[in-house]
Structure 1
Amino acid sequence: MKFKTLGKTGLKVSVVGLGGIPIQKVTEDGALEIIRECKNRGINFIDTARGYTVSESHIGKALKEVGRENFIIATKAMAYNYFEMKKNIDDSLEALGVEYIDLYQIHNAGTRGQFSDVVSEDGALKAMVEAREEGKIRHIGITSHNHEILEKALDYEEFDTFQFPYNPVEDQGADVLSKAAEKNIGVIIMKPVAGGVFPKPALSLKYILNTDFVTLAIPGMDSIEQVVENASVAENLSLLTDEEKVEIQKIAKEIGTDFCRRCGYCLPCPQGINIPAAMLLENYVKSYSLNDWALKRYEGLFSKASDCIKCGICEPRCPYNVPIRKRLESVKETFGE
């Protein structure tokens, strides 16, 4: 396994980590087997979240068997104010069953308003700094699907890591991630297969790990076979061949632009539809089979795809020319509206 230093944290991390979203699909015993195989393969970084239902607790119970000392644990919370973040950090510690968490992250700060709340006088960042001083967490990070938010985060020295989507068909964050690496901020890549869109995971992972600004990638894994496949890419990492570069270009052309990069430029919708969230939740159903989990969150959205009146205001705003009205029809069918 290849290792890199996670920016200014100083932590030595495997260049492939375990993404914890799919852990909620497996049993406690299944999670134990996956994490045991991660240890066997040299994967020492685990990323999860408060919002991933049982993922934290499954991982926590597995750590008791496999050994917490063998892993760098990262988790995150969609909490943007002081009191919510303070509670979430304590809840994560309890769920994971650990005395401290190596990396705690702001989860999906997607709007300027959310980021402003995070860094305000009574924002989540204040709670995270306090938790770090108390020894509850060691380092602070931020995740987003909007590269403009990370541009703002560059100005705050408290952030040790950035987590953002990057893969052969999603490079909208390349500039800000490169800037982050120059400032010794650790770069964690989520969605390494574009949320299941890219058909050759190993090739996509190889592409990512050959990118200079990347520290590590965290593909979601719900089986031992996936752990073996992903670890093998890092174990045998070489430069991309000319043939592989041509294949990546061919696949990217075939995929085209008909998928959401979650940049948020389409918003606001006059009907109040959170378009990126609706499309993302549909993808969790189609690519990860997280039907119940996605449906519960979809039902919690203020407006649904069925509220779309096909005004088309959103589509000219999209820099990737996604046919949003057509995609919302698909979302509507997926969730049975």
Structure 2
Amino acid sequence: MKFRKLGKTGLNVSEISFGGIMLMDTPQKEAKRIVETAVKKGINFFDVGPTYGNAQNILGPALKPFRDKVYLANKTEPGQTKEQVRRDMEESLKLLDTDYFDLYQLHEVTDEDALNSALGEGGALEAIIEAEEEGLVKNIGFSAHKEWAALKLIKSYDFDTVMFPINWNYWFNYNQGPEVIKKAREKEMGIIAIKALAQRQWQDGRQNNYNTWYKPIYDNDRLAELALKFTLSQDVDTAVSPGDNRMLDLALDIYEENDEDLKISEAELEELKGFLESHGGKLYPIPK
């Protein structure tokens, strides 16, 4: 596994990282195996949150033997009050059996009201800053799925990281991603890519028991390879696996089969663009 510096945090994170939502409702024994395998293959960045069902409860015991060897990220909902965020954080620390988070984020900032609430007096960001001063949080970031929200947050506060979809379909169809990367790097922010192996919203209902709200690229190996190459060829630091452990296995297989070199070539880029008409489509709502 290769590693990249997560912006100004100074953390050296694995190019493939672990989306903790995949452990929701997973038997503990199976979760232990999934986490052990991930760590053995070099993954050292784990992301989870309190809105992912019981994922925290399950990840905590599975990750405990490796806590001093990995980085752990968590998050909170941006529309909550300072007091609510603090309760969220303390509960997460307890469930994950840790004394601190390497990164704590505003989660999925999608609308103006939540954004303004998070940045305002008595809001979520204030609680996270206080926790950072206490040593409970080492770095502060946010996740957003729409470019306007990400750009406003980047401008509004000196965040350490941004989590944003750097996805072939979202990038080419809606031009979502390039400007976020540019503005984040101007402030030396770390960039955590999500949705690298996402295809589009489900068209005929969820299939094969995949619990992701979007269709992951589970049924086209070549497209999955090109999609992951595309994301890791952009100026990002790590790509978070989709919310299904089979997709983590696929990402690691692709990574290993390419000898950990996922730089997309010009010919491959044109091949990937050729999938847009047949396999692309609406992933997120069209940005405003």
Is 1:207 matched up with 2:230?
A: yes
Asked if the contact 2:78–2:109 (Cα under 8 Å) also holds between the matched residues in 1, the reply is: no
1:253 to 2:280 alignment? no
Correspondence 1:20-31 to 2 at 5 A: 20-31=20-31
Q: Does 1:184 align with 2:183?
A: no
The C-alpha deviation readout for 1:216-243, integer Å capped at 9, x for no partner, is: 1101241473463254267521432344
Q: Does structure 1 residue 196 correspond to structure 2 residue 195?
A: no
Q: Take 2:271 and 2:132, find their aligned partners in 1: how far apart are those partners? A: 45
Letter in 1 for 2:241: P
Asked if 2 retains the 8 angstrom alpha-carbon contact of 1:145 and 1:262, the reply is: no
- Which structure exhibits the higher relative contact order, with contacts defined as CA atoms closer than 8 Å and separated by 6 or more residues? 2
Measured against aligned partners, the alpha-carbon deviations of 1:255-284 in whole angstroms (never above 9, x if no partner) come to: 343x2424554xxxxxxxxxxxxxxxxxxx
Deviation at residue 79 of structure 1 after TM alignment: 4.0
Structure 1 counterpart SS, 2:229: helix
Q: Which residue of 1 aligns with 2:265?
A: 241
Q: How does 1:293-332 map to 2 (within 5 A)?
A: none
Distance in 2 of aligned mates of 1:147 and 1:46? 24
What is the aligned partner in structure 1 of residue 118 from structure 2?
A: 118
1:16-58 per-residue CA deviation (whole Å, 9 max, x = no partner) reads 1011222114211111111111111111001111111111121
- Structure-1 residue corresponding to 2:137: 137
- Deviation sequence 1:292-326 (CA, Å, 0-9, x none): xxxxxxxxxxxxxxxxxxxxxxxxxxxxxxxxxxx
| CA deviation after TM superposition for structure 1 residue 121, in Å | 1.0
Q: Percent identity?
A: 30
- The separation in 2 between residues aligned to 1:15 and 1:117, in whole angstroms, is 33
* CA separation of 1:246 and 1:110: change in aligned 2, threshold 3 A: same
The answer to whether the 8 A contact 1:141-1:160 is kept is yes
**Per-residue deviation at 1:158?**
3.6
Matched, 1:218 2:240: yes
Cα shift at 1:197: 4.9
Q: Corresponding residue for 1:84?
A: 84
Name 1:173's counterpart in structure 2. 177
Counterpart AA for 2:72: I
After superposing the two structures, state which structure 1 stretch, 17-26 or 41-50, moved more: 17-26
Match of 2:138, SS state, is strand
Change (3 A) 1:263 1:97: farther
1:33-52 to 2 correspondences below 5 Å = 33-52=33-52
Residue in structure 2 matched with residue 292 of structure 1 by the alignment: none
Instruction: Name 2:201's counterpart in structure 1.
Output: none
Change (3 A) 1:130 1:143: same
Could you list the structure 1 runs, at least 4 aligned residues long, displaced by more than 6 angstroms after superposition. Answer: none
Q: Name the CA distance, whole Å, in 2 between partners of 1:4 and 1:76.
A: 22
Indicate conservation of the 8 Å contact 2:170/2:283, yes or no: no
Structure 2 unpaired stretches of 5+ = 199-213
Gap regions ≥5 residues in structure 1: 266-337
Counterparts of 1:109 and 1:201, CA distance in 2: 27
Please state whether the residue corresponding to 1:51 is helix, strand or coil: coil
Task: Give me the TM-score of the superposition, normalised by structure 2.
Answer: 0.84
In the superposition, the TM-score normalised over structure 1's length comes to 0.73
Aligned length: 262
